[in-house]
C-alpha cells in the first residue's frame, strides 16, 4: 500500500503495545486463567418472541462437574441492564423478545460440560407474533413489546417552513435510503474472567469501553456497593462500540458469587452474533429542494431506526442522526423527524459512527442527485451551500467556529481532479467501467448537551521516579496508549522510559468518562493542559529543595532535571530516579483534574454538539459489468480535526475506518428473517480482506484551527468511516449511471442496469 501523508514525521511513534500485539504475545483478558477456574455458558432463547411457560434446570444441576445453575430467581438485585434504560432482563422470567435473550447461566469444570448442561435445560414456550420490521411494529394493532409501546424515541426538529421552501424550489429530489444491520466483527468476541476475592469483593476482567458504567450497572444487579467491584477493562481485541454495553459480565459475576470460584465466559462467534449489538438498520426518507442557482431551500427528513428488542443506546444514536441530517450545509427550511422502534430483531446499539454513517449516506446521496439534476459540478454545488466559520451548528446551536468543512472540501477537490482522468482512462477490459465520487461530512465529538459527560485525569510522581499518568479510559485497539505517551513526552520533554501510563482499571484510575464518541484523545489533551503547569512547577520545586539549585535554572528533560543552559549535555543534573530517592518522607506530587466535555451554551435539542471534526472522501471504483462486482481502487480522505497527536494512530484510524466502511458499503449485512439471524458466522457474513483494501490511499490531515480556538485536537476514531459509503456509491454512478439507494450494494442490482446494447459491445 502506498501511503502519502503530510503528517509530521516527529510524531510517527510506534505504539507502546504494538510489538506485543503483532507478535501475539499480548495477553488479552480472555486469555487469563486462575486457579480453580470454572467455565460459564449462557442459554439463550431459541424463539424471537414468546411467553415463557416454564424453565426446568433440575437435570442440568445433576450433571457431574456442574457447579452452579442460575435463573432469574438467583439475581439479588435489579434484573435489568442498559446504558440509558435498564430494560433488558439479565435472565428472562416470563417473556423473551429476541433470540439473544438469556434464560439460564451455568458454571462447570469444563466448557464441554457447561455446554452439555445447557442442553439439559428444558424451556417451554408459547410463541407470540414476531415483529420483524419497524413497519409492523408501528401498525395500530401491533402487539406491544414493552409497556410504553413500540416507539422507543421520537425526536423532532423544525426550522423555518419546509412547505414554503418547497414551493419556492425549482428542483426537488425525494428518495428513500435503506441501511443494513452491520456486525462489529471484532476478532476477540465478548468474554473474560470474573474473580471473587477473599474479602467478598469482585474483580471483573472483561473488555469494555466504560469500566465505571459497567461497575455501576453490576452493582445494581448484584446488590453490592460499587466500591466492592473492580473492573479491569484493558486490553481488549477490538470493540468499535460493540462492548460499550454489558454482555457476559452479569452472568459471570452471578456464577462467581454463587460458586466462590473464578468463572470464565468467552462467547463463540455464533453466540456473539446472537447476543451482541449491531449497527442500527435505518430507513431514511429525504425530500430536498433547490432553486435554479443551486441554493438549498428546504430539507425534510424522516428516519426510522430498527433498535431491536431493547433500548441500549438507541435514543442517543437516533438523536445523533437527527442532528447530522442537515450536515455541513446551510439550509433555511428544515424539518426532521426520527423514530426509534422496538422489534423482535437483534438489539442495535453503539457502533463506530453512531448514526452518522446512515444519515450521511442519505444526505450526500441527495446532494449528488441534486447536483446532477442541476447539471452542476458536485464540488461547486456543495461549495455554494457549505457552512462558514461563524455559522451555527446543524440544529441552529452555537458551535466552536471552524472552517473545517471548506478546508476538507477544497483539499479533496484538488486530489480528485489530479487523479480522476488517469483512473478513468486506465480501464483494462471493455466490460469494466470506472468512476470517481466524493462525499463530505461533519461529526460531533463527545456525548452532547443534556448528557452527563464528565472527564478528568491524574498526574503523579512515583517513588520509582516515574511520571505516572492515570486516565479512566480503555485501550480497545484505538491506540490510546500512544496518544498519552506522545503527549507526555511533548509536554515534559522526557522519554518513554520516564513514563508510566495507567488506564483500564477502576481501582487505579480517576473517572474520565467513556472511551467512546471520539472523545478520548481530546479529553486526555484537555486534562494535561489543566495539570501540566502545576505538575512541572512542583517537580522543579522538589528539585530545588533537594539540590539547592533555583528552580528557575532547571527544566524537565530526558531522564530527569537539566540545567537550562546545559540541555545539550550528556546527562541530566539530577535523574528522576535520584529525585524520587531523595524526596523527603511524606512529600508527594499528585495533581488531579475534573471537568466536563465542552458543550454548546445555547443548544436546545438533546445530544447536540459543540466541537466537530470534518472529512471529505474521494473514492475510485471499477465495476465489472459481467459479475456486478465493485472493486475500490482508492479511498482518499481529507480530515480537519485539529492538531495531530499520534500520526501513525491518526492514519490507522482513518485508513482502518475507511476499510470498515468499504465492507459496510459493498458486502456486510447481518440478515435477519422472522427474527432469526441467517448469518451467524464469518462463513456467511463477509468482511473485507487485504484483497479488498485499496492499494493507494492518501490521507491529508488539516491541523489548522481558527484563531482563538483553544480546544485542541478533536478525535478521529469515527469520522474515517462516515463519508466513505456515499463516495463509493457516487463513483458507481459516475461509472455506470446507476443510482444506488440501498446498502450493501447488490451485484444483482447492478447487473439489472446493464443494457443489451452494452452486452453486445463485448462480444
Answer yes or no: is pLDDT of 540 > 60: yes
Q: Give me the pLDDT at residue 5, please.
A: 37
pTM: 0.95
Q: Give me the pLDDT at residue 440, please.
A: 98
Report the mean per-residue pLDDT for the chain: 94
DSSP letter for each residue of 429-469: STTEEEEEEEEEEEEE-SS-TTS--EEEEEEEE-TTS-EEE
Comparing CA positions, the residue from 12, 95, 690, 649 lying closest to residue 344 is 95
Residue found by looking up cell 462500540 in the block = 241
Instruction: Describe the chain by its helix, strand, coil percentages, rounded to 5.
Output: 30, 25, 45
Q: What is the pLDDT of residues 617-629, one digit of tens each?
A: 999 999 999 999 9
* CATH class assigned to 454-596: alpha beta
Give the other-Cβ count within 10 Å of 671's Cβ: 12
User: Can you state the angle between helices 480-492 and 520-547, rounded to 10 degrees?
Assistant: 40
Q: Give me the pLDDT at residue 122, please.
A: 98
Mean pLDDT value of segment 468-490: 94
Mean pLDDT is lowest, of 92-96, 256-260, 754-758, for 754-758
For the chain, report the end-to-end CA distance as a whole number of angstroms.
35
Three-state DSSP string of 249-309: HHHHHHHHHHHCCCEEEECCHHHHHHHCCECCCEEEEEEEEECCCCCEEEEEEEEEEEEEC
Give the other-Cβ count within 10 Å of 267's Cβ: 20
Q: What is the pLDDT of residues 443-476, one digit of tens each?
A: 999 999 888 889 999 999 999 999 999 999 999 9
Q: What is the pLDDT of residues 416-446, one digit of tens each?
A: 888 888 888 777 788 999 999 999 999 999 9
Q: Give me the pLDDT at residue 759, please.
A: 67
Comparing CA positions, the residue from 620, 641, 627 lying closest to residue 718 is 641
Answer yes or no: is pLDDT of 179 > 60: yes
- The grid coordinates of residue 627 equal 459479475
Q: Give me the pLDDT at residue 751, please.
A: 93
- The grid coordinates of residue 206 equal 472483561
Local confidence band at 755 (pLDDT 50, 70, 90 cut-offs): confident
Q: Give me the pLDDT at residue 758, please.
A: 72
Q: Give me the pLDDT at residue 426, please.
A: 72
Answer yes or no: is pLDDT of 11 > 80: no
Q: Give me the pLDDT at residue 6, please.
A: 38
Q: Give me the pLDDT at residue 148, please.
A: 95
The secondary structure of residue 531, as a DSSP letter, is H
Comparing CA positions, the residue from 432, 446, 493, 503 lying closest to residue 208 is 503
Backbone angles phi, psi at 383, to 5 degrees: -60, -40
Answer yes or no: is pLDDT of 291 > 80: yes
Task: Give me the percent of the chain exceeding a pLDDT of 90.
Answer: 89
Q: Give me the pLDDT at residue 418, please.
A: 84
The sign of the CA dihedral 748, 749, 751, 755 is positive
Q: What is the pLDDT of residues 13-26, one digit of tens each?
A: 788 998 999 999 99
Q: What is the pLDDT of residues 188-202, one digit of tens each?
A: 999 999 999 999 999
Local structure of 621: helix, strand or coil? strand
- The grid coordinates of residue 226 equal 460499587
**Domain boundary assignment for the chain:** 32-128+187-238+243-275, 353-447+605-762, 454-596
Local confidence band at 760 (pLDDT 50, 70, 90 cut-offs): low
Mean pLDDT value of segment 671-683: 96
Local confidence band at 517 (pLDDT 50, 70, 90 cut-offs): confident
Q: What is the pLDDT of residues 547-605, one digit of tens each?
A: 999 999 999 999 999 998 776 667 899 999 999 999 999 899 999 999 999 999 888 88
The secondary structure of residue 451, as a DSSP letter, is S
Q: Give me the pLDDT at residue 9, please.
A: 47
Q: What is the pLDDT of residues 115-133, one digit of tens each?
A: 999 999 999 999 999 999 9
Answer yes or no: is pLDDT of 1 > 60: no
- The grid coordinates of residue 117 equal 448442561
Comparing CA positions, the residue from 459, 648, 646, 631 lying closest to residue 556 is 459
Q: Give me the pLDDT at residue 394, please.
A: 96
User: Half-sphere exposure of residue 105, counting CA atoms within 13 Å on the CB side?
Assistant: 31
| Element spanning 660, H or E | helix 647-666
Alpha-carbon span 109 to 64, nearest angstrom: 9
Mark 113-147 as b/e (b = at least 16 C-beta within 10 Å).
bbebbbebbebebeebebbbbbebbbeeebeebee
Where are any strands of DSSP class E within 590-690? 590-596, 612-624, 630-640, 672-673, 676-677
Cis peptide before 257 (omega within 30 of 0): no
Residue 148 CB contacts under 8 Å (≥ 6 apart), including other chains: none
Local structure of 463: helix, strand or coil? coil
By CB neighbour count within 10 A (0-12 exposed, 13-18 middle, 19+ buried), where does 2 fall?
exposed
- The grid coordinates of residue 490 equal 511533548
Residue found by looking up cell 472529512 in the block = 615
Answer yes or no: is pLDDT of 10 > 70: no
Q: Yes or no: say if 281 and 221 are a contact pair by the CB < 8 Å rule.
A: no
| Element spanning 222, H or E | helix 211-222
Q: Yes or no: say if 593 and 449 are a contact pair by the CB < 8 Å rule.
A: no
Q: Give me the pLDDT at residue 757, please.
A: 66
Q: Give me the pLDDT at residue 756, please.
A: 64
Evaluate whether 32-128+187-238+243-275 and 454-596 have a shared fold.
Answer: no
Answer yes or no: is pLDDT of 609 > 90: yes
Alpha-carbon span 711 to 276, nearest angstrom: 35
- C-alpha separations of 148 from 45, 514, 668 in Å: 23, 29, 33
Q: What is the pLDDT of residues 43-82, one digit of tens each?
A: 999 999 999 999 999 999 999 999 999 999 999 999 999 9
Which one is the CATH code of 32-128+187-238+243-275: 3.40.395.10, 3.90.1170.50, 3.40.920.10, 3.40.1280.10? 3.90.1170.50
Mean pLDDT is lowest, of 34-48, 252-266, 330-344, 475-489, for 475-489
Local confidence band at 4 (pLDDT 50, 70, 90 cut-offs): very low
Q: Yes or no: say if 209 and 241 are a contact pair by the CB < 8 Å rule.
A: yes
* CATH class assigned to 353-447+605-762: alpha beta
Residue found by looking up cell 438469556 in the block = 102
Q: Give me the pLDDT at residue 655, please.
A: 96
Amino acid at each position: 500500500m502506498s501511503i502519502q501523508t503530510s503528517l509530521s514525521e516527529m510524531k510517527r511513534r510506534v505504539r507502546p503495545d504494538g510489538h506485543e500485539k503483532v507478535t501475539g504475545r499480548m495477553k488479552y483478558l480472555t486469555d487469563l486463567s486462575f486457579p480453580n477456574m470454572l467455565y460459564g455458558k449462557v442459554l439463550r432463547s431459541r424463539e424471537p418472541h414468546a411467553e415463557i411457560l416454564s424453565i426446568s434446570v433440575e437435570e442440568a444441576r445433576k450433571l457431574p462437574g456442574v457447579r452452579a445453575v442460575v435463573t432469574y430467581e438467583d439475581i439479588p438485585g435489579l434484573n435489568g441492564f442498559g446504558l440509558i434504560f435498564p430494560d433488558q432482563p439479565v435472565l428472562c422470567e416470563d417473556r423473551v423478545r429476541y433470540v439473544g435473550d438469556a434464560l439460564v447461566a451455568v458454571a462447570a469444570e469444563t466448557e464441554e460440560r457447561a455446554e452439555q448442561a445447557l442442553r439439559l435445560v428444558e424451556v417451554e414456550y408459547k410463541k407470540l407474533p414476531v415483529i420483524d420490521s419497524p413497519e409492523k411494529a408501528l401498525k395500530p394493532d401491533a402487539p406491544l413489546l414493552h409497556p410504553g409501546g413500540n416507539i422507543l424515541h421520537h425526536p423532532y426538529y423544525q426550522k423555518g417552513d419546509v412547505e414554503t421552501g418547497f414551493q419556492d424550489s425549482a428542483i426537488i429530489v425525494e428518495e428513500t435510503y435503506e441501511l443494513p444491520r452491520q456486525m462489529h466483527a471484532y476478532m476477540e468476541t465478548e468474554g473474560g474472567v470474573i474473580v471473587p476475592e477473599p474479602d467478598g469483593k469482585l474483580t471483573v476482567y472483561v473488555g469494555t469501553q466504560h469500566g465505571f458504567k459497567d461497575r455501576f450497572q453490576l452493582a445494581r444487579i448484584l446488590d453490592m456497593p460499587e466500591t466492592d467491584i473492580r473492573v479491569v477493562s484493558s486490553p481488549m481485541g477490538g470493540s468499535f462500540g460493540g462492548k460499550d454495553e454489558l454482555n457476559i459480565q452479569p452472568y459471570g459475576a452471578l456464577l462467581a458469587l454463587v460458586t466462590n470460584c473464578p468463572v470464565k465466559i468467552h462467547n463463540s462467534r455464533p453466540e456473539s452474533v446472537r447476543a451482541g449489538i449491531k449497527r442500527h438498520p435505518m430507513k431514511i426518507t429525504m425530500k430536498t429542494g433547490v432553486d435554479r442557482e443551486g441554493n438549498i431551500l428546504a430539507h425534510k427528513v424522516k428516519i426510522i431506526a430498527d433498535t431491536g428488542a431493547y433500548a441500549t443506546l438507541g435514543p442517543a444514536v437516533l438523536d445523533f442522526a437527527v442532528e447530522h441530517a442537515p450536515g455541513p450545509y446551510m439550509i433555511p427550511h428544515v424539518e426532521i423527524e426520527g423514530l426509534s422502534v422496538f422489534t423482535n430483531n437483534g438489539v442495535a446499539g453503539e457502533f463506530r459512527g453512531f448514526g452518522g454513517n446512515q444519515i450521511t449516506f442519505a444526505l450526500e446521496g441527495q446532494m449528488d442527485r441534486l447536483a446532477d439534476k442541476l447539471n452542476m459540478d458536485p464540488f461547486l454545488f456543495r461549495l455554494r451551500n457549505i457552512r462558514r466559520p461563524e455559522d451555527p451548528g446543524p440544529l441552529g446551536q452555537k458551535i466552536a467556529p471552524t472552517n473545517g468543512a471548506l478546508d476538507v472540501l477544497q483539499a479533496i477537490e484538488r486530489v480528485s481532479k489530479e487523479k480522476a482522468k488517469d483512473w478513468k482512462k486506465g480501464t483494462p477490459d471493455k466490460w469494466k467501467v470506472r468512476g470517481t465520487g466524493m462525499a463530505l461530512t461533519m461529526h460531533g465529538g463527545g456525548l452532547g448537551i443534556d448528557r452527563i459527560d464528565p472527564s478528568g485525569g491524574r498526574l503523579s510522581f512515583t517513588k520509582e521516579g516515574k511520571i505516572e499518568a492515570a486516565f479512566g479510559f480503555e485501550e480497545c485497539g484505538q491506540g490510546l496508549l500512544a496518544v498519552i505517551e506522545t503527549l507526555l513526552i511533548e509536554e515534559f520533554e522526557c522519554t518513554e522510559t520516564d513514563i508510566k501510563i495507567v488506564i483500564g482499571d477502576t481501582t487505579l484510575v480517576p473517572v474520565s468518562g467513556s472511551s467512546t464518541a471520539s472523545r478520548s484523545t481530546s479529553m486526555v489533551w484537555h486534562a494535561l493542559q489543566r495539570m501540566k503547569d502545576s505538575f512541572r512547577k512542583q517537580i522543579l520545586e522538589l528539585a530545588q529543595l533537594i539540590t539547592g539549585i533555583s528552580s528557575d535554572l532547571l527544566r524537565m528533560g530526558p531522564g530527569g532535571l537539566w540545567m537550562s543552559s546545559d540541555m545539550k549535555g550528556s546527562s541530566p543534573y539530577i535523574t528522576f530516579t535520584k529525585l524520587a530517592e531523595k524526596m523527603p518522607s511524606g512529600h508527594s506530587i499528585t495533581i488531579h483534574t475534573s471537568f466536563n466535555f465542552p458543550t454548546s451554551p445555547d443548544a436546545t435539542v438533546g445530544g447536540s454538539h459543540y466541537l466537530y471534526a470534518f472529512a471529505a472522501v474521494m473514492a475510485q471504483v471499477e465495476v465489472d459489468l459481467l459479475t456486478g462486482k465493485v472493486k475500490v481502487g482508492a479511498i482518499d480522505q481529507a480530515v480537519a480535526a485539529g492538531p495531530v497527536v499520534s500520526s501513525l494512530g491518526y492514519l490507522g484510524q482513518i485508513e482502518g475506518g475507511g476499510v470498515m466502511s468499504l465492507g459496510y458499503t459493498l458486502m456486510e449485512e447481518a440478515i435477519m428473517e422472522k427474527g432469526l439471524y441467517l448469518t451467524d458466522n464469518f462463513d456467511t457474513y463477509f468482511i473485507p480482506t487485504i484483497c479488498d483494501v485499496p492499494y493507494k490511499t492518501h490521507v491529508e490531515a488539516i491541523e489548522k484551527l481558527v484563531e482563538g480556538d483553544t480546544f485542541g485536537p478533536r478525535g478521529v476514531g469515527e469520522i474515517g468511516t462516515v463519508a466513505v459509503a456515499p463516495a463509493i456509491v457516487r463513483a458507481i454512478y459516475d461509472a455506470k449511471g446507476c443510482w444506488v439507494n440501498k446498502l450493501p450494494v447488490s451485484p444483482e442490482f447492478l447487473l439489472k442496469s446493464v443494457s443489451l446494447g452494452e452486452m453486445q459491445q463485448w462480444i
